[in-house]
Structure 1
Amino acid sequence: MLAFTKAGGIFVHNKKGNINWKITGWLTLGSVPATLITLWVLNSIKTDIETINNVIKHSLGWALLFTSVAIIFKKKLLVFSQRHAGDKFHNESTTQNMLTIGIGVLLGATVTLTSIGAGALGTVTLFFLYPLLPTPRLVGTEIAHAVPLTLVAGLGHASMGNLDLGLLGQLLMGSLPGIYMGSMLSGKVPDQFLRNAIAVMLFMAGYKLIF
């Protein structure tokens, strides 16, 4: 579902010039192989379904908690990164590219296990690595990266029988218009309000899943 949803966001963000396709490529280089490996591990695990569900539930809970904390401190992380950013952030470096691939690996495994991470968590990590890029470009770049990542993960889970087509259709009916409107409103809604609301919602959901 996320692949179809974010594809609509790509159209709007690309039209506004908010996508850095080079960064998207480095992220995909790490995330897609990590997704395939994670899918293979999940399919190869010989255990009962209840154990797998518990692992996924707790992984999702911790991912939600970590994402909520990262969102709250996003601005401080950005200020810290910009303060300590040298000329290396103006020019592409091998180290920076390798770190971007590493972020892709982390996102690939997280999204495949929990279905979250490609959005808020990915954007926050990119804020630290590319602090001099404008916020709309980081968001647009992460949305573009999420399409191949979630497509591979979704197809993999579908092949394992983990897909409810009826529920998928209902979610798409709401999410496609939603992401289009969200992309159009990008930069117009106060960042502080959205960040706090999303952080609280994710923290409560994560806490409930774990404890």
Structure 2
Amino acid sequence: MTDVSTSRATSIGWGQVSNAIWGPPPKDEHTLSAGDEARLDELAASLHANGGAEGTTATSLLAFGTNAIGGVGALFAGSVADRVGQTTVTSACMVSSGLSCLAAGFVFGEPLVILAPFCLVWGFVIVADSAQFSACVSELAEDNYVGTALTLQTAIGYIITTVSIQLVPVFEGYLGWQWAFAPLAMGPAIGTAAMLYLRVLPEASNLAGGRG
């Protein structure tokens, strides 16, 4: 989840949410990425639904932790993929990510002691599959086209992320913050189906030492 601009015309920006809940935003608000803003909007709305007592500091720290723990997830997924197969690990990560999209509405407004672990788990699994896609591309593409294939894969990833970020405020307008992330589960569902299809192809034998 991403450094694209959230549309002011269709979204409730971080400044608007924080102004409505806790007063003026920090002076260095402009240093936040749009991905951080989207997470902060969701976290701020959820914390506000629980009374808003935790404040902007807890919201910002939790958003940072959700981003940072993704690196740990990527390392862990790479280690496990070498033993059980890349398609298996990538599919498991995407299923977990999709379920998190759906489950977000159920933890909305819950105390921070429930919301924080949920966000950290989500941040862990949502990034864990990224490196596996790159590894699959590098192992399956012809040697002369590995660089081009990786570039294309990265570009497609950023496009999907950009579209997702732009769609969140649209969904929020129709569904409210509680269920704004639920429609995004379609992405992991499609990705899981594609990865499981790859698993049954002969080319999968080239992945993870033949483990697929």
Bigger Cα Rg: 2
- TM-score > 0.5, shorter chain as reference: no
Q: For the superposition of Structure 1 and Structure 2, which TM-score range results when normalised by the shorter chain?
A: 0.3 to 0.5
TM-score if structure 1 supplies the norm length?
0.43
